[in-house]
Structure 1
Amino acid sequence: MKTIRRLIYREVLTSIALVVLGFLALFFFFDLVDELQYLGKNNGLVGESTYQIKHALLYVALLIPNHLYELLPISVLIGSIFVMARLAQSSEYTILRTSGLGPWRALKLLLWLGAFFVALSFVVGDYISPVSERAAQLLKARYQSKITIGQTGAWLKEKQAGRSFIVNVSELSPEGEMHGVRIYEFNSTGLIVSTTEAPKAAFSSGTAWLLSNVTRTEFAVSASANGASANAAPQQARVSRSAVASFRWPTEISTEMVSVALLRPDRMATIDLFNYIRHLEANGQTSQRYEIEFWRKVFYPLSCLVMVMLALPFAYLHFRSGSITGYVFAGVMIGISFFLLNNVFGYIGNLRNWQPWLAAATPGLIYMGISMGAFGWLVLRR
């Protein structure tokens, strides 16, 4: 049995590696062609600030881990189908069956192989891809001068001891500094108390922001708002402005939270998404989109198990000469359909306000049902 396991694992791993290399080379070429339009551009400076071909190659290379994470389940499916179909076509799998490789034992072998790719997908998606994606965005921002979304940037909210704050960050520089920071402070009744604006801010010791060249506006609360009698003369609203060189604002909004708000949530680590979801819920903000992305990060690596289950029935089909190509093409279509369905259910779940875990797990459950049905019909009944 050890010889059979070694044979199948060697063939499947080799096939999956070739498929992965082919996909990554294709995406590397497409990304590089897309980056050619930015060559020679800079952020208004000269010298090293010019975007050159070496920078484009480095940027495209930093995108490879994210492509690997997205393409790994499809590659596992295509590589496994190719090996299973080739073994069936050459009658090698029939010999393996007569040597004691029953359906459940074969399924167990492939599931162990799928578990390896589940672990690999989790490591790449949760540790390597977020780091490389952030490095790629910072590299690109060095020549575009900023990381931002839309015209207004990112908006965050926080509650502190009876006060609430709404924070707007326009841009995030390559050095990790925030630009165009505006902080709106409200009291417990929802009245605005102060506004703080700063062209630049930095994270200080993880529990505060250090703002530079601050313009602070404070609004005095009128007598009627404080519960004065109706016969008392109403006071004029007082507005005081002050400018300070630096201002320290205590906050629990961390670097990762700002990065999640400014970057795509599907490119962040699972723990960063979880902390950001808790922050949104604690401040009464909707977290549906980020919860769906969180559960997708949890369930997506498990799709590698589903893919090897889908590949096993191909070993029990009867092939004619040259017909293996059609089955490999069917595997490609199945993988693409899973990728599309996984994205579509994320958008539908967000629009229909589904349970986040259900929206993320439904594509995998559908394809698991298909694989179990194919396994029962082609493997057990025939």
Structure 2
Amino acid sequence: MRTARRYLASEIYRTTLGVILVLLGLFTFFEMIDTLDNLNERFSFLSMLYLQALQIPTRLYDLLPISLLIGAVIALAGLAQRNELVILRVSGISSKKLLLMLWAITIPIMVIATLLSEIATPYAEEKTSEVTLSVLGKSSNKMNSGYWFREPIDDSHYRVINIRKLNSLNEISTVVIFEYNTQKNEFSRMITAQKAALQNGILSLDQVNITTSLIDIQTTLSQADAPIQQVSSIQQLNQLEFPTSLTTERLVATELQPDRMSTINLLNYIQYLEENHLQSNRHIVALWRKGSYPFTLLVMITLAAPIGFVQNRKGGVGAKIFIGILIGIIFFMANQLALNVGMLNNLPPWLTALLPNIIALTLAFTALYLIERRSKPSTFIHAK
């Protein structure tokens, strides 16, 4: 049993590694071709190679489930073609035991996937954002008006922070801050700064202009005549500092896709969104998807099992590989479709994240049951 498991593991690991290297090479090559148009004095060829190297963990994170599916199909189809699966079955290993062996083989890959999801991918994405900001001057999730954050000041005031441009993940250009009085439901003051820095929960502003409202806006607007008194005062300061709930991690979260964040940072950002009554459903779904990511690998190996277990008299390895690739593409599309449909219809986050896995696992178990049921009569007749 142990020898058979080691042999199966070596075959699946070898083919999966080959598939990963091929897919990584293809995606990296096409991405490099697409990036060649951006080469200039600031963005050199070496910078492009460094950027592509940083994106390898993210690509590996995306490609690992499909690579495991295709690699397992290739390995199992090869074993079936060489009648080695038949030998395992004759030696007393049932389909159930074979499936349990495949799940045990997947456990080390699940551990690697967890480390990749929690450490390598978030770190690589942060570094990629830094390089993109410093070299290309681009931001992935920036709106035309910049980045917007909302936070409470005290029980009766809150502020809205608008960051127009990020020079790096700590240095900011052009900040506009709006402060509101929640009790009177009116604007209090506006703070603008040419430069800012965020460090240790302190937002430091340089070259500051403070425009403070001196009137009751609702009363003034309700009057037909122009106001006689001064409506606002303007104060200029060289520097202004104040504590903020906006941290570097939360600033980084605006540059990263929720699926690319670590669980700790994702929970921190969800807490920030909920404290400020902002939409957090997309990030909660991402949290469920991260939790189910190792489980997806089990689903992939289970999907590969019925494809590989089918016995063909004349080869059929190429057809099995094609079916495996097709199933991988369909699963990827179904995963994205479930995400979009779940977000549009406000479905429970756990259902949006787990539904494709549940459906795929059900189909795989059904296929294994049908294969096992079909093989039993023929075995009985042969024994007669």
TM-score, with normalisation over the residues of structure 2?
A: 0.90
Structure 1 residue corresponding to 2:261, chosen from 263, 268, 275: 268
| Cα displacement (A) at 1:282 | 1.0
Partner residue in 2 for 1:284: 277
Structure 2 residue corresponding to 1:150, chosen from 123, 140, 143: 143
Q: What pairs up with 1:1-382 in 2 under 5 angstroms?
A: 1-41=1-41, 50-147=42-139, 149-162=142-155, 163-174=157-168, 176-189=170-183, 190-205=185-200, 207-220=201-214, 222=216, 236=229, 238-379=231-372, 382=375
Task: State whether residues 157 and 164 of structure 1, in contact with CA within 8 Å, keep that contact through their aligned partners in structure 2.
Answer: yes
Q: 1:323/1:224 Cα in 2 relative to 1: closer, same or farther (>3 Å)?
A: closer
Identity %: 32
| Cα displacement (A) at 1:124 | 0.9
Task: State whether residues 169 and 248 of structure 2, in contact with CA within 8 Å, keep that contact through their aligned partners in structure 1.
Answer: no
Task: State whether residues 70 and 325 of structure 2, in contact with CA within 8 Å, keep that contact through their aligned partners in structure 1.
Answer: yes
CA distance in 1, matches of 2:285, 2:316: 40
CA distance in 2, matches of 1:316, 1:199: 66
CA distance in 1, matches of 2:139, 2:75: 44
Task: State whether residues 138 and 147 of structure 1, in contact with CA within 8 Å, keep that contact through their aligned partners in structure 2.
Answer: no
Q: CA RMSD in A?
A: 2.0
Name the aligned partner's letter for residue 23 of structure 2.
Answer: F
SS in 1 for 2:264: helix
Q: 1:315/1:379 Cα in 2 relative to 1: closer, same or farther (>3 Å)?
A: farther
CA distance in 2, matches of 1:223, 1:99: 86
Partner residue in 2 for 1:229: none
CA deviations on 1:213-263 (whole Å, 9 max, x unpaired) are 1111111354998xxxxxxxx994641111111111211111111121233
Name the aligned partner's letter for residue 80 of structure 1.
Answer: A
CA deviations on 1:183-202 (whole Å, 9 max, x unpaired) are 11111233111111112211
CA distance in 1, matches of 2:230, 2:290: 50
Task: State whether residues 155 and 261 of structure 1, in contact with CA within 8 Å, keep that contact through their aligned partners in structure 2.
Answer: no
CA distance in 2, matches of 1:266, 1:315: 31
Instruction: After superposing the two structures, state which structure 1 stretch, 214-223 or 10-19, moved more.
Output: 214-223
| Cα displacement (A) at 1:315 | 3.6
SS in 1 for 2:133: helix
Task: State whether residues 196 and 216 of structure 1, in contact with CA within 8 Å, keep that contact through their aligned partners in structure 2.
Answer: yes
| Cα displacement (A) at 1:140 | 2.5
Task: State whether residues 215 and 241 of structure 1, in contact with CA within 8 Å, keep that contact through their aligned partners in structure 2.
Answer: yes
TM-score, with normalisation over the residues of structure 1?
A: 0.90
Q: 1:247/1:80 Cα in 2 relative to 1: closer, same or farther (>3 Å)?
A: same
Contiguous gaps of at least 5 residues in structure 1? 42-49, 226-233
CA distance in 2, matches of 1:84, 1:126: 30
| Cα displacement (A) at 1:285 | 1.2
Name the aligned partner's letter for residue 146 of structure 2.
Answer: G
CA distance in 2, matches of 1:75, 1:105: 23
CA distance in 2, matches of 1:259, 1:52: 25
Q: 1:295/1:79 Cα in 2 relative to 1: closer, same or farther (>3 Å)?
A: same
CA distance in 2, matches of 1:223, 1:95: 85
Task: State whether residues 198 and 213 of structure 1, in contact with CA within 8 Å, keep that contact through their aligned partners in structure 2.
Answer: yes
CA deviations on 1:309-332 (whole Å, 9 max, x unpaired) are 111123431213331101111000
CA deviations on 1:11-45 (whole Å, 9 max, x unpaired) are 0000100000000000110111111111124xxxx
Task: State whether residues 81 and 315 of structure 2, in contact with CA within 8 Å, keep that contact through their aligned partners in structure 1.
Answer: no
CA deviations on 1:275-332 (whole Å, 9 max, x unpaired) are 1111111111111222222222222231000011111123431213331101111000
Aligned residues: 365
